[in-house]
Amino acid sequence: MTSNHRSTISSFFTVALLKRMLVGAAIGLTLMIIFLSGVPDPEPEWGRYWTVRPLIVIAFAGAAGGAFFHLVDPLRFSGTWKKIAAFLLCLLVFVFCLWIGSVLGLDGTLWD
């Protein structure tokens, strides 16, 4: 007798999750690059590669927002008001993740 055991870990990490996380990270990176391009002269005590930390942190924060968007995906197929509420919740959480990522990434430099 053969056992068909399907792991829950393999069903959680899907291509759709990866795509949404990459889109979230790309949105965060784009916004942070636009924001950092307006910095005229950085302080010398920040170091030479001070922009690396905000870019990495905002990419992870955007990916977390994209992952949340994927987790709420079943609610978007329920009904009209649930679809709107789920989308607004996802948008609010995504903006919150980007805000927290920018605060944590820019801490000690522009948010001193």
pLDDT per position as a tens digit, 28-76: 999 999 999 988 888 888 888 889 999 999 999 999 999 999 998 888 7
More confident residue, 78 or 30: 30
Where along the chain do its domains lie? 16-32+48-106
**For residues 45 and 98, what is the distance between their CA atoms, to the nearest angstrom?**
26
The answer to whether the predicted template modeling score (pTM) of the entire model surpasses 0.85 is no
CB 26 within 8 A of CB 62: yes
More confident residue, 109 or 11: 109
* pLDDT score recorded for residue 7: 55
* pLDDT score recorded for residue 57: 96
**For residues 24 and 88, what is the distance between their CA atoms, to the nearest angstrom?**
16
